[in-house]
Amino acid sequence: MAVYKLTYKGHKGASTPAWSRFLIPARYNYAKLTGIRFLMLFVTVSLFYPVGAAIYVYLSANSVFLTSMGFSPFEIDGEFFYTFCRIQGVLSYLLMAFISPSLVSWDISNGALQLYFCRPFSRLEYVLGKLSVLLPMLSILTWIPALILFAIKSSISEWSWTTENWWLARSVLLGLMLWCVLLSLIGLAVSATVKRRVAAGGLILAIYFGGTGLAGAINLVMGIESGSLFDLTRVTQTIWADLLRYDNGSNMTVSSAWIALCIVTALCLWLLNRRIRSFEVIK
Amino acid sequence: MSQDRITFDNVSRFYGEVLGVNRVTLSIPPGITSLVGPNGSGKTTLLNLMTGLVRPTEGDIRILGIEPRDPRKMFRMVGYSTQFDSFPRGATGRGFIYSFLRLFGYPSSKASALTAEALDVVHLTDAADRKIAGYSKGMRQRVKLAQAIAHDPQVLVLDEPLNGLDPLVRAETLTLFRKYAAEGRHVFVSTHILHEVDMISDQFILLSNGYVVAEGQIQDVRSEIREHPLQVTIRCKQPHALASKVFEMDHVVEVRLHPDGKGVLVLTRAAELFYRKLNHIAMGDFGVESIAPADDTVKSVYEYLIGEESQR
Amino acid sequence: MEIIELSGLSVRFGKREILSDLRTTLSSRSVGLLGPNGAGKSTLIQALLGFCPVSAGTASILGLDIKRDRSRIRSFVGYMPENDALIANMTAVSMVRMMGELSGMEPKAALERAHEVLFYVGLGEARYRELGTYSLGMRQLAKLAQAIVHGPKLLILDEPTNGLDPPARQRMIRLIHEMIDSGEMHVVICSHLLGDVEETCEEVLILKLGRIVHHSNLAEERLANKRFVEIETLGELRGFGDMLAGLGCPCTVDVKGRFKLELPSDFDMRKIYGLAAERDLQLRRVSYRQDTLEEIFLKAMEA
């Protein structure tokens, strides 16, 4: 016989390894995100093109079938992957614009960040945790299907094709990974800076879609070409085209595109660091 | 004499179906009156009714004989400090109070002088020309108070005026209230800090769920609550012996021995008889060291009449 | 047993020195941190938690240096901030669970303990609701829950009763008392409400303009100073003061009609009761005067 009173009891238990703790917020974020139907639908729809592309790749090896249908045979080359990058690039950007604001703003809007940092949890771990939500989801839309397409083509072609074209795999992997990292940084930096979720999402979209207009306006007004560096699409497409050895008719130099990319990345990192630091140290 | 009182005559205020306050009848004399009650009990509604910011759906209110419906006369007499923390954008402390005074029709020089005085009273003169947006919580509270007292009102209505103030400033502000009360003004304070109510209030009003549950002076209200016998704590060297002796009085209904073995808690239905007899008992060999009422406070009244409400 | 030791701790923001050369040791189970606005209380807490850089000196919590062992300290400290701190789109259970895991608890233990702790603070029925729907009192309790979920050895509470109505305030104080009495942790309470601090704290540290102006153990100060007595009466008052003086006790009357006496040594209190019995006066209160925390505070401010 016993009576158990509800009093305060301490806690002594095992500790989880410190290095893995950055994944904890990620788990909770994933749990929330996977519950959003619209999001899961969007991801599914975004995979339609890769599936279509897979069929296309399959057909490319079957020139007999193609000629009988009246099409001329085609190659899987840099242009093919360039188009792939462009389309999946847009879709992944939209996904990022949808996810990023809700990743960070809930933590910032009610002063919750201080609760994270009064624990053995650093700013770096916080950002890594958010990245480990964004990067995998963006990867599913971008370089993972791209590499699968390459693998399909490689398996239905002769070995010589693979040896000649393995650089395609390397380039598309590099190009799309860069894209994923860039997107994640933009998403996190903007979401940490702009408090309200809808406004953050809007700004993220504006950076991409409005960038072209801004670049054009600058070029026109100042009569220069380098305004295009504000155009994120042009910058990344220039880099992709260079990596994939495809001439997309851009007159932007590759080196200036890389410089622009580095500047944007550095800007995002700086902004992110500043914003999160200011929540760690409450004035 | 209703000219020096704030009166509510069967006042009700509903917001559609939602109850603000219902059938409130009060007659508040000058001095410090505290308004206490749980969150959601209708305190803000009562204050808004008093300052004319909302009209009652039923009943009649008069502030020193004047109806709140006439804002021009009323606001000259009444100073109001709300619980809400919003100010005009970009205003400085001085600017805020000055423009407020100008709305009253004071000429520029008089308004500046009154502003300076009010700022001096709340000790904000140094920070007066900085933007309110940069003020700390305590400073914003003081600016609100300064705005409420600047035009020298006869009636001060203050919603949680001490929120966020440090102990020094609290003590000074309470002294200020006492000064106003001594001058014959009405100081009406809505608060959660019950022990300050005990310290300074002349009378109090207890609200719960939109109804007035008790009002008046604390001792009078306490003695009216007859279901709860008066509790008195006595510390002494011989608690057991004292307990037996005290039980000889038939109005004593309960005696509890203090866990530390050096005192008793006596519950009695007849306070006066008890205290009179206690003097005689204390002359005995019980070693009575101290006597103190255990539940003569607003806090106890609050507990008896409202109790601890469960979290919703 | 030292809980917190300050050895010349100084903090500077730009040119302004916020904390100057703090030196003391805090060793009770419950410590009250007091001071006027701008005294540096929040800065001290932030420095101890490692949120702001220390410009000179050091400090240690339970023997660990705040600079070198920051991570370890954070794993056994619980912090309840003054301002709003919650993740509005998570349920109470989720947030408290996550905070437990971030402090190093295993997921299963964190889940069990989250429920336990939420029941303990009184949010049992509401724990599956999103925090954004909570009232102010509930948010304060949720903040407390996340501060204690990992069983901290040191709990820092910043204005724990802020904005709470009387029943909620009483509940909070009762919880704090229970946690202190359980002996499982030490508590530092930072508050403007001296009444709350007096009720819960054994030791007080008072700051002013970044310096320590008072540090004492309230429990020791409460050892009654039996020479000074205060009497409140109901009934015929005239002459009572003189009669008390006639007994050998110098006596003054204050604004509220209370008598303040100084008793000569070996004075028999029964003489006072006899006097009151003669005059049929009701002695409603007879108590030994001790410096209340308010008086200690005001004295410290004048220093």
pLDDT of residue B312: 33
d(CA A95, CA A204): 11
Residue with tokens 């540090």: C215
Report yes or no on C298 lying in a domain.
no
Q: What is the extent of the structural domain holding C197? A: 4-221
CB burial of residue A106 (10 Å; 0-12, 13-18, 19+): buried
d(CA C153, CA A12): 11
d(CA B148, CA C157): 33
User: What are the beta bridge partners of residue C132?
Assistant: none
Are residues C61 and C202 located together in one domain of the fold? yes
Are residues C188 and C277 located together in one domain of the fold? no
Residue numbers in A near C185 (CB within 8 A): 10
Q: Using CA coordinates, name the residue in chain C closest to A29.
A: C90
Q: Where are the domains of chain B?
A: 2-222, 229-294
Report yes or no on A143 lying in a domain.
yes
Number of domains in chain A: 1
Average pLDDT over residues C287-299: 80
Average pLDDT over residues A82-97: 92
Are residues C80 and C204 located together in one domain of the fold? yes
Angle at C84 between CA C78 and CA C87, to 5 degrees: 80
**CA nearest neighbour of C195 among C84, C297, C42:** C297
Are residues C143 and C265 located together in one domain of the fold? no
Are residues C210 and C282 located together in one domain of the fold? no
Which tokens is A33 given? 């995100």
CB atoms inside a 10 Å sphere around CB C208? 19
Q: Is the pLDDT of residue C258 over 60?
A: yes
Q: Using CA coordinates, name the residue in chain B closest to C129.
A: B312
Average pLDDT over residues C94-103: 95
- The DSSP result for C250-300, as a single string, is -EEE-TTS-EEEEPPTT--THHHHHHHHHTT-EEEEEEE----HHHHHHHH
Please answer yes or no on whether C75 and A25 come within 8 Å at the CB atom: no
SS3 assignment, position C204? strand
Average pLDDT over residues A19-27: 93
Q: What is the extent of the structural domain holding A264? A: 21-280
Residue B130 has phi, psi (to 5 degrees) of -95, 160
On whether any CB of chain B is under 8 Å from the CB of C81, the answer is no
Class of domain B2-222: alpha beta
pLDDT of residue A250: 73
**CA nearest neighbour of C185 among C140, C226, C153:** C153
Residue numbers in C near B296 (CB within 8 A): 284
Is the ipTM reported for this complex over the cut 0.90? no
Instruction: Say yes or no: do domains B2-222 and B229-294 share a fold.
Output: no
Taking CA atoms, A216 is separated from A226, A229, A256, C176, C266, in Å, by 10, 10, 17, 63, 98
At B188, the amino acid letter reads: F
Put simply, the chain B residues between 254 and 273 with a CB less than 8 A from any chain C CB are 272
d(CA A24, CA A128): 11
Residue numbers in B near C166 (CB within 8 A): 36, 38, 192, 194, 299, 302
Report yes or no on C302 lying in a domain.
no
Please answer yes or no on whether A110 and C88 come within 8 Å at the CB atom: yes
Q: Do chains A and B touch (3 or more CB pairs under 8 A)?
A: no
Average pLDDT over residues C105-109: 90
CB burial of residue B99 (10 Å; 0-12, 13-18, 19+): middle
Are residues C217 and C240 located together in one domain of the fold? no
Q: Is the pLDDT of residue A82 over 80?
A: yes
Whether residue B155 contacts residue B186, with contact meaning beta carbons closer than 8 Å, is answered with yes
pLDDT of residue C223: 59
Are residues C21 and C90 located together in one domain of the fold? yes
Please tell me the distance in Å from C100's CA to the nearest CA on chain B: 24
pLDDT of residue B32: 93
Whether residue C172 contacts residue C140, with contact meaning beta carbons closer than 8 Å, is answered with yes
On whether any CB of chain A is under 8 Å from the CB of C113, the answer is yes
pLDDT of residue B68: 81
Question: How many helices (H) and strands (E) would you count in chain C?
Answer: 11, 14
User: What are the beta bridge partners of residue B267?
Assistant: B231, B254
- The DSSP result for B107-123, as a single string, is -HHHHHHHHHHHHHHTT
Residue A99 has phi, psi (to 5 degrees) of -80, -45
d(CA C275, CA C279): 6
Are residues C212 and C242 located together in one domain of the fold? no
Residue with tokens 């508050």: C191
What order of strands is seen across the sheet that includes strand C4-13? C16-26, C4-13, C56-61, C64-65
Q: Is the pLDDT of residue C115 over 60?
A: yes
Number of domains in chain C: 2
Residue with tokens 């009720």: C199
On whether any CB of chain C is under 8 Å from the CB of B206, the answer is no
Q: Candidates 3.10.20.520, 2.30.40.10, 3.30.70.100, 3.30.70.20; correct CATH number of B229-294? A: 3.30.70.100
On whether any CB of chain C is under 8 Å from the CB of B304, the answer is no
Q: Using CA coordinates, name the residue in chain B closest to C82.
A: B164
pLDDT of residue C235: 67
Report yes or no on C178 lying in a domain.
yes
At B270, the amino acid letter reads: A
Please tell me the distance in Å from C271's CA to the nearest CA on chain B: 7
pLDDT of residue C64: 92
Pairing of strands B31-36, B203-208: parallel
Report yes or no on A52 lying in a domain.
yes
Average pLDDT over residues C193-221: 88
Please answer yes or no on whether A121 and C79 come within 8 Å at the CB atom: no
Interface partners of B (3+ CB pairs, < 8 Å)?
Answer: C
pLDDT digits (tens, 9 = 90+) for A230-262: 788 888 888 888 888 887 777 778 888 888 889
CATH number at residue C209: 3.40.50.300
Q: Is the pLDDT of residue C65 over 50?
A: yes
CB atoms inside a 10 Å sphere around CB C217? 14
- The DSSP result for C66-116, as a single string, is TTTTHHHHHHHEEEE-SS----TTSBHHHHHHHHHHHTTB-HHHHHHHHHH
Single residue among C199, C221, C243 that ends a domain in this structure: C221
Report yes or no on A208 lying in a domain.
yes
pLDDT range class, residue A61, cuts 50, 70, 90: confident
d(CA B161, CA B158): 6
Single residue among C186, C204, C221 that ends a domain in this structure: C221
Report yes or no on C295 lying in a domain.
no
Q: Is the pLDDT of residue A145 over 90?
A: yes
Angle between helices B239-247 and B271-282 (to 10 degrees): 130
**What percent of chain C clears pLDDT 70, i.e. is strictly above it?**
96
Are residues C255 and C187 located together in one domain of the fold? no
Which tokens is A211 given? 């960038």
d(CA C62, CA C152): 12
pTM to 2 decimals?
0.83
Residue numbers in A near C175 (CB within 8 A): 8
Are residues C212 and C241 located together in one domain of the fold? no
SS3 assignment, position B55? coil
Report yes or no on C297 lying in a domain.
no
Taking CA atoms, B233 is separated from B203, B255, B266, C196, in Å, by 25, 10, 6, 21
Are residues C47 and C8 located together in one domain of the fold? yes
pLDDT range class, residue C226, cuts 50, 70, 90: low
Average pLDDT over residues C274-285: 85
Encode chain B (312 residues) as per-residue pLDDT tens digits: 567 899 999 999 988 888 899 889 999 999 999 999 988 889 999 999 998 888 999 899 999 888 887 777 888 889 999 888 888 888 888 999 999 889 888 899 999 999 999 999 888 888 888 888 888 888 889 999 999 999 999 999 999 998 888 888 888 899 999 999 999 999 999 998 888 888 888 899 999 888 898 888 887 888 777 778 888 989 888 899 999 999 999 899 999 998 888 889 999 988 888 988 998 898 888 888 888 888 878 888 888 888 754 433
Single residue among C221, C254, C274 that ends a domain in this structure: C221
Residue numbers in C near B38 (CB within 8 A): 165-167
d(CA A162, CA B11): 89
Please answer yes or no on whether C184 and A24 come within 8 Å at the CB atom: no
Mean pLDDT, chain A, rounded, equals 87
SS3 assignment, position C187? strand
Whether residue C260 contacts residue C252, with contact meaning beta carbons closer than 8 Å, is answered with yes
Residue with tokens 């909770």: A28
Are residues C8 and C133 located together in one domain of the fold? yes
Taking CA atoms, C218 is separated from A168, C192, C212, C298, in Å, by 76, 17, 16, 15
pLDDT of residue B310: 40
Report yes or no on A37 lying in a domain.
yes
